[in-house]
Amino acid sequence: MTEFEPKIVGFLCNWCSYAGADLAGVSRYQYPPEIRIIRVMCSARVDPMIVLTLFKEGADGIMIGGCHIGDCHYISGNYHTEKRAFVIRRLMEKAGLEVDRFRLEWISASEGERFASTVAEFTEKIKELGPSKVMEDSDLASRVGAAVDTSLDFRIRALLGHEVGMIEDGNVYGEKKTEDEMREIIDAAIEDEFRRSLILEITSSKPASAKELSQVTKLPTDRIVEHIATLRQKNLLAVDHIEGMTPYYVALRVGGD
């Protein structure tokens, strides 16, 4: 059996981290070869959906590299990246994926050595964690799938998009929220939407009762029933059939024809 070679994807912003990686090269700082880099213009370009999708498809580790806070080529992009990283980590937690498989690093164009040492350290960490189990563990896969769906949820994305504005400028009435308050709001939203996505994920392959859903999601039945009500209201879930007194639910497909 050959040694585990982790699949690590690095998204680096063109202006700082990618340039830092270039500098590591120019300076001949050696680092482990597993990482594969994808260039983006700004770290803020990396949609959480992309990170989570790649995890769903078997990535062992994903790193996003951006400019240091305050040095963003696009003024404030990395500030947004940081907010998104929070959501990525939360969803990984909820899906049961090791949070350490994801890393966000600020690396400037002048930090070639730091880039090399960061990659070395991250690669080591991923090797410690071992291969991602997403491909063989179908439960994990469906939870990560639910995480991807959650990252595409309108409410989560809208909240994320307005987070910085709510903290700095407030809403239309001028009411501001603190960073912690926003985190709390987003946290609660993620929890709800993730559970709902998971219910849809599970019921899309096979009808399930509230009790079964409660067992799989480890949520109390009354919370499940609330989610079911919401999903039915949104026309995303319907009763498939009734066994005795127990309704079995199935996810409705949206979009398409």
Partner 1 sequence: MEPEEQTPETPIEQEEQAPQTPVVQQEPIAEPPVEPDEEAPETPPTPDSEELRIGVFVCHCGTNIGGFVDVPAVVEYVKTLPNVAFARDNLYTCAEDGLTAIRDAIKEHKLNRVIVASCTPRTHAPLFQGVCEEAGLNKYLFEFANIREQCSWVHMKEKEDATRKAKDLIKSSVSKAALLVPQEEMKVDVVPRSLVIGGGVAGLSAALSVARQGFDVHLVEKEGVLGGFTRNLNSLSLGDKSAEDTIKPLIEHVQAHENITVHLNSQVESVSGFIGNFDTTIVTNGSSKEVKVGTIIVATGALEYIPEGLYGYGMYDNVVTLTEFEILCKSGKLPKIKNVAFIQCVGSRGQDKSYCSRICCVISIKNALYITENFAEIMGEEGAERVEVDVSVPEISSRRRRRRRMVSAEGEAAPGPAPTGGPEITIFNRDVTTYGADHEVYYNKAREKRIRFVRYTTDNLPKVTQEGDKLVVNYYHETLKTERKLQADMVVLATPLIAPPDAADLSKKLKIPIGRDGFFLEAHMKLRPIDFATDGIFVCGTARGPADITESVAQGLGTASRAAIPMARGFIQAEAILAQVDPEICTGCGTCEANCPYGAIRLSDDGVAEVLAAACKGCGCCGATCPEKAIQMMNYTDDQLLAQGRSILQGAM
- The amino acid sitting at 14 is N
* CA distances for 124 relative to 33, 60, 116, 128, angstroms: 11, 12, 12, 6
- Is residue 22 at the binding interface for partner 1, with CB under 8 A as the rule? yes
Q: Quote the least distance from Cβ 36 to partner 1, whole Å.
A: 4
Nearest residue (CB) to partner 1, 138 versus 246: 138
- Is residue 162 at the binding interface for partner 1, with CB under 8 A as the rule? yes
- Is residue 30 at the binding interface for partner 1, with CB under 8 A as the rule? yes
Q: Quote the least distance from Cβ 222 to partner 1, whole Å.
A: 27
Q: Quote the least distance from Cβ 192 to partner 1, whole Å.
A: 16
Nearest residue (CB) to partner 1, 161 versus 220: 161
- Asked whether the beta carbons of 109 and 65 are under 8 A apart, the reply is no
Say which residues have a Cβ less than 8 Å from residue 38's Cβ, sequence separation at least 6.
9, 10, 11, 12
- Is residue 173 at the binding interface for partner 1, with CB under 8 A as the rule? no
Could you tell me which of 121, 145, 101 has the C-alpha nearest to residue 8? 101
Any idea what the Cα angle at residue 47 is, between residues 42 and 52, rounded to 5°? 130
The DSSP call for residue 168 is H
Which stretches of the chain bind partner 1, using CB under 8 A?
Answer: 7, 9, 11, 14, 18-19, 21-22, 24-26, 28-31, 33, 36-42, 44-50, 53-54, 56-59, 70-77, 80, 84, 116, 141, 145, 149, 152, 154-155, 157-158, 160-162, 164-165, 201, 204-205, 253, 255-256
